[in-house]
Amino acid sequence: MSGRQDLDRLRNELVDQLRAAGVVCSGRVEQALRSVPRHLFAPDIDPEQAYRDKALITKWAADGRPISSASQPRVMAVMLEQLQVHDGQRVLEIGTGTGYNAALLADLVGQTGQVITVDIDDDLVEQARHHLATAHITRVNVVCADGATGWPAGAPYDRIMLTVGAWDIAPAWVNQLTVDGRLVLPLSLRGAQCCVAFQRTGEYLTSVAIAPCGFMPLRGQMTNPQSILPLGDQSGLFLYFEGQRTLDTAALYTALHAPAELLATGIRVSATEVFDGLALWLALHQPDLAQLAAIGPATQRSMVPPLLSCPSNIGTGVLLDEQALAALVRLNQHGDNHDWSTTFELGVRAFGAGGDHLAHQLRAAVHQWHANGRPATAGLRIRAYPPGHPTDEQSVAIIDKHYCRLVLNWPPQPHYHST
Ligand SMILES: C[S@@+](CC[C@H](N)C(=O)[O-])C[C@H]1O[C@@H](n2cnc3c(N)ncnc32)[C@H](O)[C@@H]1O
């Protein structure tokens, strides 16, 4: 069991790493991360684990998918930097979870500010209140509600932050912002998820910062319309995609076990480039792209092809038809795949009859991303208009949601990489 001083040291080491990596840039966010004891927000987990840069899962659905956690510190830091909280502000968080991020927000708003945080599950709300009290953090009001409607009683807010994945932008989140307020949320862009910081400009929102992320989806009224199909019986493999498709999941599961054709791409990448660029490019340019994800024990089995697992995320982009699929894989993988910077060659593996055709399509899309200068997520610009808003802007994609029209632009990148 670690003593308090050991835990303080581990916490400071984690913040040092995030600072050195350029994830934490402001003194305010640094101070908040140094002062809030994360281990008090996940008391059932070994306290040393709280100071690794990992999400701590705290609640699961019956099918094994995680539905609550203390999010990964790196991602919290990115979002808090995007949020740019000032002293005395009123902040609404949607997705209380353990209460840890609400505690960071309380530090950022200072003595004169206020934080309201909502969670859809009353057991989580009770636990978060308890964690906050244990950490002696006041000025946080924890309420049980569906965050789809924000929390009108406390509006307007200078800042609204979701720590749970959204497919759409609820009107309440925009309406409850002050006129120049800022909304930060993990937003699904055709299946790729990005933390987007939006500034309100009249009736529309303009992105001011974008980074890749991977949050569990909202439940309740704003449930993500994404389909999630398990493959096999309790295998831990899931397919995620937008819209409806006719798929023979038994045939796809069998195909994943059979010998598969492998196409090399000749392109070397790091996990960072995949997670922070290629994944979004493929989602925007291949609207039929789906995700094959491994959860729990499935991540350990060799049956799962060496998918493009990133340190925080075991899953890969796939093109599918009813009985076949093509998946991005790592080639020549040696050693640790929990490293963001080591490069490896990308390959495409074809599973099932007809998978080779899909594999060629996927490989061509990877080559296109490379030929366009390997755009990274941060270069993307998004405007969110009311639905049906006429637009003659040039765009790489227009994505129509129920409550908004997203217009996306990705200016060309300044330089090209070599393979
Ligand atoms: C990743 S966790 C949030 C982590 C949290 N901010 C922390 O610091 O521990 C996502 C949370 O969103 C909550 N959630 C899901 N749908 C919601 C909704 N419609 N309204 C409010 N909370 C929701 C889940 O219950 C879960 O606790």
Structural domain boundaries of the chain? 4-217, 227-371
What local confidence, expressed as pLDDT, does residue 1 receive?
52
Read off the pLDDT of residues 31-62 as tens digits, 9 standing for 90 and up.
999 999 999 999 999 999 999 999 999 999 88
What local confidence, expressed as pLDDT, does residue 105 receive?
98
Question: What is the rounded distance in angstroms from the CA atom of residue 143 to the CA atom of residue 148?
Answer: 13
Would the pLDDT of 154 be above 70? yes
Q: Rounded to the nearest whole angstrom, what is the distance from the C-alpha of residue 135 to the centroid of ligand 1?
A: 20
The CATH number of the domain covering residues in 4-217: 3.40.50.150
Of 60-74, 89-103, 340-354, 374-388, where does the model show the most confidence? 89-103
Q: Is 120 in the pocket of ligand 1 (CB under 6 A)?
A: yes
Nearest to 241 by CA among 317, 165, 154: 317
Find the Cα–Cα–Cα–Cα dihedral 183, 386, 215, 274, rounded to 10°: -100
Question: What is the rounded distance in angstroms from the CA atom of residue 300 to the CA atom of residue 389?
Answer: 47
Would the pLDDT of 310 be above 50? no
Question: What is the rounded distance in angstroms from the CA atom of residue 76 to the CA atom of residue 78?
Answer: 5
Q: Is 101 in the pocket of ligand 1 (CB under 6 A)?
A: yes
Would the pLDDT of 237 be above 60? yes
Count, in order, helices (H) and strands (E) of the chain.
Answer: 10, 19
Concerning whether 188 is annotated as a catalytic residue, the answer is: no
What local confidence, expressed as pLDDT, does residue 130 receive?
98
Burial-class residue 332 by CB neighbours within 10 Å (0-12, 13-18, 19+). exposed
Please tell me whether residue 65 adopts helix, strand or coil conformation: coil
Question: What is the rounded distance in angstroms from the CA atom of residue 151 to the CA atom of residue 144?
Answer: 10
Q: Is 151 in the pocket of ligand 1 (CB under 6 A)?
A: no
Burial-class residue 252 by CB neighbours within 10 Å (0-12, 13-18, 19+). buried
Question: What is the rounded distance in angstroms from the CA atom of residue 280 to the CA atom of residue 344?
Answer: 19
Would the pLDDT of 338 be above 80? no
Q: What is the mean pLDDT of residues 248-265?
A: 90
Nearest to 88 by CA among 111, 107, 113: 113
Question: What is the rounded distance in angstroms from the CA atom of residue 12 to the CA atom of residue 318?
Answer: 39
Parallel, antiparallel or unpaired: strands 315-320 and 397-400: unpaired
392 pLDDT tier (thresholds 50, 70, 90): confident
Q: What is the mean pLDDT of residues 86-106?
A: 98
CA-124 nearest atom, ligand 1? 27
Determine which one of 26, 68, 227, 270 is catalytic. 68
What local confidence, expressed as pLDDT, does residue 313 receive?
53
Cβ(196)–Cβ(185) below 8 Å: yes
Would the pLDDT of 296 be above 50? yes
Q: Rounded to the nearest whole angstrom, what is the distance from the C-alpha of residue 96 to the centroid of ligand 1?
A: 5
Q: Rounded to the nearest whole angstrom, what is the distance from the C-alpha of residue 406 to the centroid of ligand 1?
A: 24
Cβ(349)–Cβ(261) below 8 Å: yes
Report the percent of the chain where pLDDT is more than 90: 69
Amino acid 65 reads R
